[in-house]
Structure 1
Amino acid sequence: MFVTSLSSLGSTIPRGTRQSSSSAKAPICEVRDLVCQPCLLYLFLDVVNGLSEFFEAEGLDSDNVAVWFCMFNNNQHQIANQIKEFSFWVDSFQTALRAIGNVVMVLSPWNNPTTLTRTWCVFQIYVAIVTNARFEVTMGKTQKQSFLQDIHDKIPFFDMLGTIKCEASQTAVPSDYDNIRNILKPPNLKFADLDRMVFRVFQELMVRTVQTQIETSVGADKARWHFVMGQLFLAMESLMDAQTSFEAAVAIYENQAPIRWKAVMNLGCIAETQGQPKSVWQSLLRQALDNQINYLGCAHVDTLETMFMLGARYNRHDEFALGMPLLVACFETGCRLLGDKNPRLLYVVEAIGSGHLHQNEVDEAEQWLQSGYAHAKDMLGLDNPRTIIFEETLALVHVRRGQYDCAQRIYRNVCNQRCRIYGSDEMGTRRIYSRLGEIHQRLGAYETAEEILLECLDVATKRSELFPQLQFIVAVRLGMLYLAMGDLRRAETHLSQAHQGLVQYDGPKFSEILLALYRLCLLNMESSCLDRMDEIESQLNQAEWFEETWSQFFCNGCYQPICGSIYSCEKCPKFVYLFCRPCVSQVKYAALCTHVPTVAFTPPARYFQEKRLELLAQEQKWRLYKAQYKAYKAYCATFQVPLDEQLEEAV
């Protein structure tokens, strides 16, 4: 291997040439010059070992590759009694890298590379981007062995995602950090973009490394590496690749193999995320859980993981009577088995908190979520994916309380973190970004909300095979935005399409479908259009929502689903704060709004009955009117509608 040590980055050698040397061999191909990016804290032999691994993987002859190192921290020393300006070092390195065109970063340790703790090393990634140089990463044999051992468990991968953060890097010369940060601004790059580039090439290296293990293994070992690959793809949120890997593992494993049922469990989770029927994903998860209980018992980490996955998915489909007992049992058994502070239980804590929230137990939810968030922050740090998921759910608590400014800050941070880790077009990132758009709508920032939601809808539609429901969930939010803006035509288009699309995946009673239906009802009330009255009444009955309670519209005073008329403020942005009649009487709105809520929306089941009675009276169809009014009074009696809100009988 030919290594040239550069004492000054100003000594630039064009790509495809090198300095003369008594040991020099024939000139190398231009694509075989590269800049090696270790950290000066690394052991040099570890760097050599990492490069040897890279050359072998690339099929390169190491004796015919020139590797360029910056061996000294030149900017920290006087050269010929002169201190060079910061710009000198920047220009010198950019010129050198543009000429050489290839960068390899040596990772050590694999899950928190020391290289990325030094801002000048981070700067080299930036230069690779702006010069369009090839950027790769490599590991030495020791770190590769450590990686292959650690990656059997998905937790170290998540921890790595939270640990690598270029923005937290440092420089020996403090002003260098600020100068490098300023360099990123003109091309509109952020440290998070550099993180994303590192994650991308690192994930490619991980996949190649595990694929090699698959190709060189047989039998159970081969199946085990297929399973590891599936977990890796799942952590990267590449669902279709994960499904292929887990199916390959299941095809090899015998029925009694414990890891087979972990693969089946993951296939059930993927099926649910892809919008497959409940009968499909529930069958897979139940099959996995029953076999794990039989072979491993209830007090085993594999069994507990499946209990969590099944319970969380029941909750996502509003089946809390099935989901919450599983989650609580999982948590209690996990505490006895692992200890109540074990990081593996954090997802369970978040799911229990989320379950309480979606059952309108806001105080209980906040207690679970704040406790879990505090533990995650202390144990894992703010950038770990397991910490970020608590922030995401806590934002929903703030939304329920009408604290939209707090929710906006949290969602923005979560979006930035997910962009850093998973990328901007990943479906989970778009789901959170659409929530941020919804918050902008509630704050009255309609243009920003529209820009965000249209962008999310475009991405969700183009990638609908990954998460088919997301395009319709975003359409519901976009429809509500247009309803708030008074653009009833576009509101009608998006809400109708969303309702039709969601029904085909989840049936008529799913919470997101009810939201679409509620907003269609509000649209008809706003427009006073009765053309679709029969159709919407039929949809209300199919959803079993022919009653007074708006189960998905929550009072910002008591945090419960609003029963009876919804009261809103006509001076605040439309639909930003919603209150029930008792909270208006108790002036609970004063904590959020200085105006008195005066706009009332009647529950749709009652509204359409009253409109039908008005039409019958206008047409003087008194026999039909009398029968309809009798049914209306029975409805009012059943749901205890206040007398002063009831329609008087026409004479």
Structure 2
Amino acid sequence: MHSETTKQSDEQMQKLDMLGVSVFHLEHLFLQEVCTSTGNPLSRDSKIHEIENLRGPPGVIRNKGTNTVCPIDGKEGAAYVHCLQGEDHVGEATQMLSYSWNYTIGDIVDTLSDYCLQNKLNPKRTYIWMCCLCVNQHRVVQKSTQQKSGMVPTAKVDFFAIFGERVKKIGHLLAMMAPWNAPVYITRVWCIFEIFTAHITDGCKIDIVMPPKEKLSLEQDVVDTGGGVNALYETLCNTKVEKANASVDSDRLAILGQVKSDVGYSVLNNLVNDLLRGWIQGVLTQLVRARENTNNMDYVCFCTQIGKILLHNGENDSAMELHQNALTICETVLGKNHERTADTHSDIGAVLYKMGDCEGALSKYKEALDIRLSRFDKNHCDVALAYNDMGLVLNDMGDYEGALTKYNEALAIQKSVLGEEHKEVATSYNNLGIVLGSMGDYAGSLEKHKEALAILMSALGKNHPRVAFAYNGIGSALHGLGEYEGALRKHKQALAIRLLALGKNHSLVASSCINIGSALSSMGDYEGALSNYEEALAIKLSALGKNHPDVATTYVNIGRVLDEMGNYEGALAKYEEGLAIGLSALGKNHPFVAITYNSIGDVLCAKADYERALAKHKEALAIQLSALGKNHPGVAGSYSCIGTVLQLMGDYEGALTEYEKALAISLSALGKNHPNVAAAYDNIGAVLAFMGNHSGALLKFEESLAIWEPLLGADHPNTKDCLEWIEDSKKELQKQSLVPELLHGKSLD
């Protein structure tokens, strides 16, 4: 009998602990109690910690229950919720509100009222569990006082278990973000912990909400420039629970300690970042949907701004849909030859480029150019912009001469209109430097990047983020020249600028880490390279989310350095992670997928799994032929990979055929003095040597040396390797007594 009574009592206690305050009560009674309270003047704009300061005398919340016996412990002093009666005011909690005590009561009430309105909920039957109203604040103050005085010890609390049980029972969390452009929420350790716990609790629904006035402010930002929304992405995607604060420091330390030991900071941070990223994308989509039946330029503005934001964050398909909508309206309202229509063609081109459809992107950029040429003088800056866009795509397509032409046309216009020292002129110099680097003209590339650097430092100052781009360009050119120490210094200068200007969690900081890792890898410092790549991955996971294409690229970078270290299983695992993201985010026919197949093939080849390696390289080749065309340098790379596998399988004739295909493409696309051409000669020379054709091998190695030595110098490893192969070939020929005839009487050194 006694146990049955105890059981009923426990069940009753649990029900009391799960009571919530109705939204109706908050709107009409609690808000009135706040605004009419005696003592310190309070209003809708008062924050929760002002309404109830737990370090001072009782406020509105504690006063409500001062003379009421708590139904849970039978002592005087009850929680606010336990002072309410009637189902219009109190009932079993339907939602839990996760919020900060720094929020104003007006914002909280408005948010909950709007939530009911938007979801067609009855405010009288929507009961909110809020810690300030549903936890007995009398006991909180008493316990804190006793712990400070040493009357009771500070007990260890399992926050996951206690909070998780409450979240599970209620089953629905409302996480409140305010203000929208700098949410207090993600600076509070309790808030971050609450949304994370809800996320990992099976069956718990999470809705992220904000006050109506914040929605309007966000909407206006999109109409204006969208800059604040882009900044919001940066803010929301850099949650750091270890840096968050709490009103009670012992709570902060206890929560952080448990998070660190149970799941780790990075796991929690990345999960919360993904949730918040999804929320802002949902908000932006709602803003568009609310206007999608209006054929006006406000809707075009929304589509354009939000499309660019989504594209930046890897949402290519959603971005394409919005830009297509904008184009349809522009053509209908403004006409097919309007400059705004040209801008929209350009926006679509940018999406196609990200999706790997270079032909489609080039076509769209050409449409934009044609419209601008018909509307503006040929020396207009918008015309230069179109040339730059086309140059970018042509460079990726392997049409380096075409890219060079477009970038030079853009440069000429910018110099004429803006002057020699304008920052946009520097951008064109950087673009030219990139193409020259792709062409193997590293000295020319270095010169262009240095010109860009001089202009940018003069125009913007030495610590501007755009200066970092010039340093990176110089670093890449030095890398191509084999000056790895110099490259490393330049990439570190770029990193220092970005850390100062952008903070350590920015995606461009991750890019600098990758550049540094690349230089270290070329120097043979694989551990250092791996450390930098892993740092880049951590930043990108936080800033961009686990499914972003840039994250996939970083996994591939890590895989390559593990491959260099001989950790083939580790490399394969990273390549597979990158491939999975690439297939999901970009589709099975994207050039990145082909690159990853080739990387996987290289590892399988190193493991002597030649059949599977060959299959992967052939998959890569098929994608590249379809996406890039038969004369692209990337296609040549796949032919070389196939040739390598065939050579190791002993099929020298087959290998020679593949290497010769690679050489023909490289000569056509890159010119006779490009490093890729030298590498192709080396490959052909090597297989000829295996076939016993040392005279043919010698000729190929000499052609290779004629490229490597002027390009990289006599002391570069590639040059030295080539000289060694030449000597080996000569020795083999000497054994066969064929050298004098071959060399027309030249003596051997």
Give, in whole Å, the separation in 2 of the partners of 1:523 and 1:277.
30
Aligned to 1:595: none
Whether the 8 Å CA contact 2:636–2:663 is kept in 1: the answer is: no
| Post-superposition offset of 1:352 | 4.5
CA deviations over 1:455-504 (Å, ceiling 9, x no partner): 43345445652762232211111121122233333322322332333233
Answer yes or no: is 1:123 the counterpart of 2:193.
yes
Bigger Cα displacement from structure 2, 541-550 vs 431-440: 541-550
| Post-superposition offset of 1:144 | 1.8
Answer yes or no: is 1:214 the counterpart of 2:329.
no
Opposite residue 233 of structure 2, the aligned amino acid is L
CA deviations over 1:417-446 (Å, ceiling 9, x no partner): 332343323333222112211211112222
Aligned to 1:98: 168
Give, in whole Å, the separation in 2 of the partners of 1:94 and 1:634.
73
Equivalent of residue 246 in structure 2, options 147, 171, 178: 171
For residues 307-326 of structure 1, the aligned pairs below 5 Å read 309-319=389-399, 322=403, 325=408
Whether the 8 Å CA contact 1:475–1:495 is kept in 2: the answer is: yes
User: Against the structure 1 CA distance between its residues 112 and 228, is the aligned structure 2 distance closer, same or farther, given a 3 Å change threshold?
Assistant: same
SS at match of 2:640: helix
Answer yes or no: is 1:385 the counterpart of 2:507.
yes
Aligned to 2:733: 648
Answer yes or no: is 1:236 the counterpart of 2:236.
no
Opposite residue 267 of structure 1, the aligned amino acid is I
Whether the 8 Å CA contact 1:111–1:160 is kept in 2: the answer is: yes
| Post-superposition offset of 1:525 | 4.0
In terms of fraction of residues, the more helix-rich structure is: 2
Give, in whole Å, the separation in 2 of the partners of 1:70 and 1:300.
60
Equivalent of residue 685 in structure 2, options 596, 606, 611: 606
Equivalent of residue 251 in structure 1, options 305, 328, 333: 328
Whether the 8 Å CA contact 1:311–1:326 is kept in 2: the answer is: no
SS at match of 2:342: helix
Answer yes or no: is 1:159 the counterpart of 2:237.
no
Answer yes or no: is 1:180 the counterpart of 2:243.
no
Answer yes or no: is 1:340 the counterpart of 2:460.
yes
| Post-superposition offset of 1:292 | 5.2
SS at match of 2:254: helix
| Post-superposition offset of 1:249 | 0.3
| Post-superposition offset of 1:606 | 1.8
Bigger Cα displacement from structure 2, 443-452 vs 321-330: 321-330
Aligned to 1:273: 354
Whether the 8 Å CA contact 2:660–2:684 is kept in 1: the answer is: no
For residues 430-579 of structure 1, the aligned pairs below 5 Å read 430-461=552-583, 465=587, 468-508=590-630, 510-544=632-666, 551=675
Whether the 8 Å CA contact 1:161–1:384 is kept in 2: the answer is: no
Answer yes or no: is 1:150 the counterpart of 2:221.
yes
Give, in whole Å, the separation in 1 of the partners of 2:379 and 2:320.
27
| Post-superposition offset of 1:247 | 0.9
| Post-superposition offset of 1:248 | 0.9
SS at match of 1:36: strand
CA deviations over 1:542-591 (Å, ceiling 9, x no partner): 42359998835xxxxxxxx9769xxxxxxxxxxxxxxxxxxxxxxxxxxx
| Post-superposition offset of 1:398 | 3.0
Opposite residue 292 of structure 2, the aligned amino acid is I
Give, in whole Å, the separation in 2 of the partners of 1:155 and 1:297.
30
Equivalent of residue 21 in structure 1, options 78, 84, 103: 84
Whether the 8 Å CA contact 2:602–2:641 is kept in 1: the answer is: yes
Opposite residue 644 of structure 1, the aligned amino acid is E
Opposite residue 163 of structure 1, the aligned amino acid is T
Aligned to 1:79: 143
SS at match of 2:143: coil
| Post-superposition offset of 1:25 | 1.9
Whether the 8 Å CA contact 1:105–1:138 is kept in 2: the answer is: yes
Give, in whole Å, the separation in 2 of the partners of 1:160 and 1:338.
31
Opposite residue 36 of structure 1, the aligned amino acid is L
Whether the 8 Å CA contact 1:111–1:156 is kept in 2: the answer is: yes
Identity of aligned residues (%): 14
Q: TM-score, normalised by structure 2?
A: 0.67
Whether the 8 Å CA contact 1:51–1:106 is kept in 2: the answer is: no
Aligned to 2:94: 33
| Post-superposition offset of 1:284 | 1.6
Give, in whole Å, the separation in 1 of the partners of 2:108 and 2:89.
24
User: Against the structure 1 CA distance between its residues 411 and 183, is the aligned structure 2 distance closer, same or farther, given a 3 Å change threshold?
Assistant: same
| Post-superposition offset of 1:374 | 3.0
Opposite residue 84 of structure 2, the aligned amino acid is S
Aligned to 2:268: 190
Whether the 8 Å CA contact 1:495–1:516 is kept in 2: the answer is: yes
Structure label with greater radius of gyration: 2
SS at match of 1:112: coil
Whether the 8 Å CA contact 2:498–2:508 is kept in 1: the answer is: yes
Aligned to 1:205: 283
Give, in whole Å, the separation in 2 of the partners of 1:22 and 1:54.
24
Whether the 8 Å CA contact 2:230–2:309 is kept in 1: the answer is: no
Whether the 8 Å CA contact 2:633–2:665 is kept in 1: the answer is: no
User: Against the structure 1 CA distance between its residues 259 and 135, is the aligned structure 2 distance closer, same or farther, given a 3 Å change threshold?
Assistant: farther
Give, in whole Å, the separation in 1 of the partners of 2:560 and 2:83.
64
Aligned to 2:120: 59
Give, in whole Å, the separation in 1 of the partners of 2:499 and 2:383.
27
Whether the 8 Å CA contact 1:492–1:520 is kept in 2: the answer is: yes
User: Against the structure 1 CA distance between its residues 2 and 11, is the aligned structure 2 distance closer, same or farther, given a 3 Å change threshold?
Assistant: farther
Whether the 8 Å CA contact 1:548–1:603 is kept in 2: the answer is: no
Unaligned runs of 5+ in 2: 1-23, 31-59, 73-80, 148-153, 415-422, 428-454, 707-721, 738-749
How many residues are treated as equivalent by the alignment? 582
Unaligned runs of 5+ in 1: 13-17, 553-560, 565-601, 615-627
SS at match of 2:180: coil
Q: TM-score, normalised by structure 1?
A: 0.76
Whether the 8 Å CA contact 2:643–2:657 is kept in 1: the answer is: no
Whether the 8 Å CA contact 1:273–1:467 is kept in 2: the answer is: no
SS at match of 1:504: helix
Give, in whole Å, the separation in 1 of the partners of 2:382 and 2:83.
61
User: Against the structure 1 CA distance between its residues 337 and 453, is the aligned structure 2 distance closer, same or farther, given a 3 Å change threshold?
Assistant: closer
Opposite residue 196 of structure 1, the aligned amino acid is D
| Post-superposition offset of 1:101 | 1.8
Opposite residue 275 of structure 1, the aligned amino acid is G
Opposite residue 425 of structure 2, the aligned amino acid is E
Whether the 8 Å CA contact 2:94–2:127 is kept in 1: the answer is: yes
Give, in whole Å, the separation in 2 of the partners of 1:11 and 1:509.
81
Quote the RMSD (CA, aligned, Å).
Answer: 4.2
SS at match of 1:87: coil
Give, in whole Å, the separation in 2 of the partners of 1:210 and 1:541.
51
Whether the 8 Å CA contact 2:468–2:498 is kept in 1: the answer is: no
SS at match of 2:121: coil
Whether the 8 Å CA contact 1:271–1:281 is kept in 2: the answer is: yes
| Post-superposition offset of 1:121 | 1.0
CA deviations over 1:487-525 (Å, ceiling 9, x no partner): 333322322332333233223554544443333343344
CA deviations over 1:256-304 (Å, ceiling 9, x no partner): 65443332222112222333243x3223224335655776889999778
User: Against the structure 1 CA distance between its residues 56 and 174, is the aligned structure 2 distance closer, same or farther, given a 3 Å change threshold?
Assistant: same
CA deviations over 1:120-147 (Å, ceiling 9, x no partner): 1111112212323211112223322321
Bigger Cα displacement from structure 2, 527-536 vs 354-363: 354-363
Whether the 8 Å CA contact 2:456–2:466 is kept in 1: the answer is: no
SS at match of 1:104: strand
Give, in whole Å, the separation in 2 of the partners of 1:222 and 1:338.
40
Give, in whole Å, the separation in 1 of the partners of 2:175 and 2:460.
39
Bigger Cα displacement from structure 2, 103-112 vs 170-179: 170-179
SS at match of 2:292: helix
